[in-house]
Amino acid sequence: MSVASPPRIAVLPSAVADQIAAGEVVERPSSVVKELIENALDAGASSVDVAIEDGGRQTIRVSDDGCGMSPDDAVLALERHATSKIRSAADLVGVRSFGFRGEALAAMCSVSHLELETAPDDGAGTLVRAAGGAILDVSPIARRRGTTVRISRLFYNAPARLKFLRGSRSEWRAIVEVIGSMALTRRDVRVSVTNDGKPMLSLPASATLRERLAAIYGGAFAGRLLDVDDVIGTTHVAGLVERPSDVGTATRRAFLSVNGRAVRDTGIVRAAEAAYRSTIPAGVRPTIFLDVTVAADAVDVNVHPAKAEVRFRDRWPLERAIENAVARALGTFDAGATLGRSHWTFVPPSPPPQALAPVDVEALHPDGPDLEGLFEISNNDTLEPPPSPAAPASAPPPAPTTDVPPLTQLHRTYMLFEHEQGVVLIDQHSAHERVLYERFMGTLERGEAPAQRLLFPMTLHLGPAESEAFERDRELFERLGFEIDGFGGHTLIVRAVPMPHPRFDPERCVRETLAALTGDRDAGVHARHERLAATVACKAAIKGGDLLSPGEMRALYIALRDTKLPAHDVHGRATIVQLTWDEIDRRFGRR
């Protein structure tokens, strides 16, 4: 007679199931703080006070002045799946409240000692004491309107979870990060925080993100950021981002919110950072604070137990909208605070009308030396040949349309001019690099550039890797004005080249560009354009040590001023540096 084997599948006891469920919501003390603050905000609180002891390992106390709860609701709130936020599955579409799962208080109660004080109106309140998921006592109390939740001895009945908690300092840092995110999300709420009885943070209600950041990180930090405010379709992107010149000089910070909910999303971060291509060095990452608003039915917030992630119905257009919004902020900021406003005005990033004529350097500066074709560019970023000296003049030359300060070259590397706020230095290589980059990008995006045929074609012998890089980007080289043919094996014949300036060394440019592009991974079309334009611009630009005439310096000044990001070259290095009069006076002991 065979003996039946014991069943392999069993239903977990409720206490064990509750602790497993609690592990999805309550990972560490910062998770408790996040859930309690979200509950306070959903209750309509205008003020939230947080008290922490031992990094939250001993005690977490969150008080608010929200709507409070009746005695029956206070008891029911500790049950699993008890919530006031939704009533049916349809309510999950476009849910705006922070909490909606109905698990937070029940999860905390199952792994800690919990005290809940609440009152819907001043005077008549309720105190609920619970531990390990069981309610121990319910009694009436007198208190003001609002709710206070006190969590103590977290994970006292889950030793396996308790031993994985970090030290009090690490847990405190995680709590600060959570509170900071919530404070940035709801800037209209006053927030105060104490740690081990010491006041650590006091944030009054703020009207703007910049004001809230100034209260958290200081006015100097907030003042350095650029405003982002752009609407593309149904997507509104607003916030603050770091100036390219400041990236890498301080601790990087990143904050994202979607429809008022603080989230983590690497795709959005990458999209925002993509706007900094060609403005900052590789490997450094900018500080960003972005609020993204999309249609309620275009985002699913019910995809993560802690509601820290969301899923978008159509991600690609959203990421492009974010990249474009940040790029527009970077391209239109007024650098007058850095460079002064007498001579520097920045054009918007949208393409100007095609009919605009190129800058006529000779007409602007008839007494300037030769090399008039050095920086001949049109306002639509396409190459234009210099005017022929033999062509009859049908009209008098146009009057100067811009005010160019007297320029002096220093060390054959820098251009200097006096400004009302100080002395300004321009790195001639970085400046020309920026000019050429934007011109080459316009050429790659909108059409081919005129080329200069060589009297004697050049023969280039390349290695296998360089030859492969050329074949991959042959079409783009042709758009830039290169005419290159294969000559068998890894040999190329160069018959025509662009001529950005008379000192241009085409052989060196082609060789160094191909060497730099060797090993590039496959990328999108725009990214390939940026990579090639940046590399060719770097190799083709005038170098430090090249002697510039007054006319050439003026032409470079005009061309640089009309770029989108004149303050940075394609590597993110500074193109322009200002020494203020105050700084100079201090160096000479006048202050």
Q: Look at residue 413 and tell me whether its pLDDT is greater than 90.
A: yes
- In the block, tokens 């972005």 appear at 290
Q: Percentage of the chain surpassing pLDDT 70?
A: 77
Strand partners, 312: 299
Q: What is the mean pLDDT of residues 389-413?
A: 65
Query: Which stretches of 333-369 are DSSP H helices?
Result: 336-339, 361-364
Label residue 525 left, alpha or beta by phi (over 0 means left) and psi (-120 to 50 means alpha).
alpha
For helices 428-446 and 525-540, what crossing angle results, to 10°?
Answer: 140
> Which tokens sit at 348?
């918007």
Q: Which of 95-109, 130-144, 172-186, 390-404 has the lowest mean pLDDT?
A: 390-404
pLDDT at 374: 43
Question: Degrees (nearest 5) of the Cα angle 107, 108, 112?
Answer: 125
Q: For 451-497+504-540, which CATH class? A: alpha beta
Contact 68, 121 (CB under 8 A): yes
Q: Distance between alpha carbon 19 and the CA centroid of its chain, in Å?
A: 38
Q: What is the mean pLDDT of residues 419-444?
A: 90
358 pLDDT band, cuts 50/70/90, is very low
Closest CA to 65 of 148, 125, 136: 148
Q: What is 14-203's CATH superfamily?
A: Histidine kinase-like ATPase, C-terminal domain (3.30.565.10)
Q: Percentage of the chain surpassing pLDDT 90?
A: 31
Q: Where are the domains of the chain?
A: 14-203, 210-333, 451-497+504-540
Q: Look at residue 217 and tell me whether its pLDDT is greater than 70.
A: yes
- In angstroms, the Cα distances linking 188 to 61, 135, 387 are 21, 35, 60
How far apart are alpha carbons 359 and 439 in whole angstroms? 14
CATH of 210-333, one of 1.10.8.100, 3.30.230.10, 2.40.50.140, 3.40.640.10: 3.30.230.10
- DSSP label at residue 244: G
Contact 117, 71 (CB under 8 A): no
How far apart are alpha carbons 397 and 389 in whole angstroms? 13
The rounded mean pLDDT for the chain is 79
pLDDT digits (tens, 9 = 90+) for 85-111: 544 444 444 455 555 445 788 888 889
Which residue would you say has higher pLDDT here, 87 or 495? 495
Contact 191, 63 (CB under 8 A): no
How far apart are alpha carbons 499 and 540 in whole angstroms? 9
| Single-letter code of the amino acid located at 446 | R
pLDDT at 207: 92
pLDDT at 397: 46
pLDDT at 283: 76
The DSSP code sequence of 122-186 is SS-EEEEEEETTEEEEEEEE---SEEEEEEESTTTT-HHHHTT---HHHHHHHHHHHHHHHHHH-
The DSSP code sequence of 422-467 is EEEEEEHHHHHHHHHHHHHHHHHHH-----EEEEEEEEEE--HHHH
How far apart are alpha carbons 474 and 482 in whole angstroms? 9
Parallel/antiparallel/unpaired status of strands 198-203 and 235-242 = unpaired
pLDDT at 488: 79
pLDDT digits (tens, 9 = 90+) for 9-24: 766 566 655 555 554 5
pLDDT digits (tens, 9 = 90+) for 559-585: 998 888 787 788 877 788 888 898 898
pLDDT digits (tens, 9 = 90+) for 224-254: 899 999 998 889 999 999 988 788 777 888 9
